[in-house]
Amino acid sequence: MFSFSSSRRAAVVPVASRKEEPAKVVPALHTPVPAPPRIPLVQNVSSSSCSSSSLSRPHVSFRSRLPALGPVPAPHPYITTPVLNSNPSDISPSSIDDVLRSRPGVGRVVKARKPRLAKGSHYAKSSLRPENVPAQMRIAHWLTEWSLSQLDEMRRELPPASIRKVNEVLVESWAESTRKTQGAALLRFMEHCDELEVPECDRMPASSYLLSSFAASHAGKVSESCIDGWLSSLHAWHTINNAPWNGGSAFVTQVKKGAAKMAPPPRPPRMPVTIGHMSALQSRLDMSRPFDAAVWAVATCAFWGSCRLGELTTEFENYVDPKKSVTRVSYNSASSLGPIVGGSVSFRIPWTKTTRNEGATLSIVGPDSLSPFHAMNNHLGLTADAPPDSHLFSYPDADGAWHPMVKDKFMERCNEIWLEAGLEELDGHAFRIGGATELLMGGVPPHVVAMNGRWKSLAFLTYWRNVSEIIVNSFSSCYDTSRIDAITKAINSFCSAPV
């Protein structure tokens, strides 16, 4: 068994043992209790005893003290019953349900799926980690003993409504996609802890040794960025529980460096959408069908505007987030001169990855043969009856019902055509890569390409540095080497110019 020591007393869990010793529990809530000294390793005493009263107290596994597994209240809708009494002296120790009620769900309602366990996983079910919680809410609803004691502290100072509001705003500080990634990291961390039989009270705050063990266990299996992302997710989990973070220690940092050197070879650069891919779409899409017309409009805007596909499409069929999705109302109000002016397309998107809620105004222009102007004209003409608050690239089905352009459906249609044309399948980011590459190859100055794609650094030049390998792999016939030489000189001049 892998043991870790903890300098913080274990949180009191509302189980049968409390009823047996009520006199010992209540005073502990109001009288500061000094933390027991950390047990030296040379004493060979297991720290899994996680006792708040005495080191000599016989250890009882935390799992054996948890209430029996049973149905946990679904995260939506949340119970609004107050979780504290008006008189602080009447506050009882927080329970798991108390913590879950104090942390409301945010965003759309999602049907939870069972955690996707790794092969050979040692994951153990626990009442602290309800299975009916979607991945993007695990950061708030997967708890530890620390979570219970943290709510105890908050209840002494804040009323329940304030606690819920604080937690709601705290969770909203991370984008839903980020929280979904964090949920996957928490699952991997819990699998590691269960494999080593780490006591619940030692999982938060996680010691530098436990974090290092987690990182080292995946060394040589995943990339450096993957391990960094997992540890960043654990840091966020500690933050939402107001727990100390030990991941910044020199010890953990050095382990991460070692894991980076042991990382497997990086994947080859992702292939871009090329002019050949765009021509295949144009020739095979039925521009008289509203869905195909919308696909072509998205494709031309994403390619020539170097857009992230998520800025133009939605993730779900039945949920359009007005804070992040461009609608026809915002499009039509973007310019007093009309939505399409002088052969260019201009509209405002309410949210981007870098500017967040500030959004950005897109001004997109392309050659007449693959013009976003003509594509948008055709799309808007076929969907003139769309509700004003619908998604900009929405389209009607055969029954007249309107649907937003979902990213997966868009890419499915594109890949279907590319496979028919003898081209390989691509992912959504290929439009952004391909658009930036084509503009550079076409002689557009690098700083203009950066502005077009809303890059705030030279990160977009990564696409250019990969272009020679990309060309060798698949597309050498698409580009003239003299163009490459000319643009290389322009980029070198741009990079060497003083900032």
The confidence band for 121, taking pLDDT boundaries of 50, 70 and 90, is confident
pLDDT at 132: 84
Alpha-carbon distance 299 to 173, whole Å? 31
Show the beta-strand stretches assigned E in 146-244.
Answer: none
Nearest-5° Cα angle at 376, 396 to 270: 95
The confidence band for 89, taking pLDDT boundaries of 50, 70 and 90, is low
User: What residues does each domain of the chain span?
Assistant: 16-261, 275-496
Per-residue pLDDT tens digits for 22-68: 444 434 444 444 444 443 333 333 334 454 433 333 333 333 334 44
Which residues, 6 or more positions from 298, have their beta carbon under 8 angstroms from its beta carbon?
Answer: 309, 312, 313, 393, 405, 410
The confidence band for 468, taking pLDDT boundaries of 50, 70 and 90, is low
Does domain 275-496 match CATH 1.10.443.10?
Answer: yes
> Poorest-confidence range of 102-106, 180-184, 252-256, 341-345?
341-345
Chain centroid to CA 237: 13
Per-residue pLDDT tens digits for 231-283: 999 999 999 999 999 999 999 999 999 999 999 998 887 889 999 999 999 99
Q: Are 406 and 327 in contact (CB under 8 A)?
A: no
Positive or negative CA dihedral for 384, 386, 388, 394? negative
> Poorest-confidence range of 230-244, 410-424, 458-472?
458-472
When pLDDT is averaged across residues 192-205 and rounded to a whole number, the result is 96
Which residues, 6 or more positions from 328, have their beta carbon under 8 angstroms from its beta carbon?
Answer: 386, 387, 388, 389, 390, 391, 392, 394
The continuous run of DSSP H or E covering 361 comes out as strand 360-364
How many Cβ atoms are within 10 Å of 69's Cβ, its own excluded?
11
> Poorest-confidence range of 214-228, 241-255, 345-359?
345-359
Q: Are 161 and 26 in contact (CB under 8 A)?
A: no
For residue 473, the number of C-alpha atoms closer than 13 Å in the C-beta half-sphere is 12
Q: Phi/psi of residue 206, each to 5°?
A: -75, 130
The confidence band for 464, taking pLDDT boundaries of 50, 70 and 90, is low
pLDDT at 484: 66
Highest mean pLDDT among 23-37, 75-89, 346-360: 346-360
Q: In this model, does residue 185 exceed pLDDT 90?
A: yes
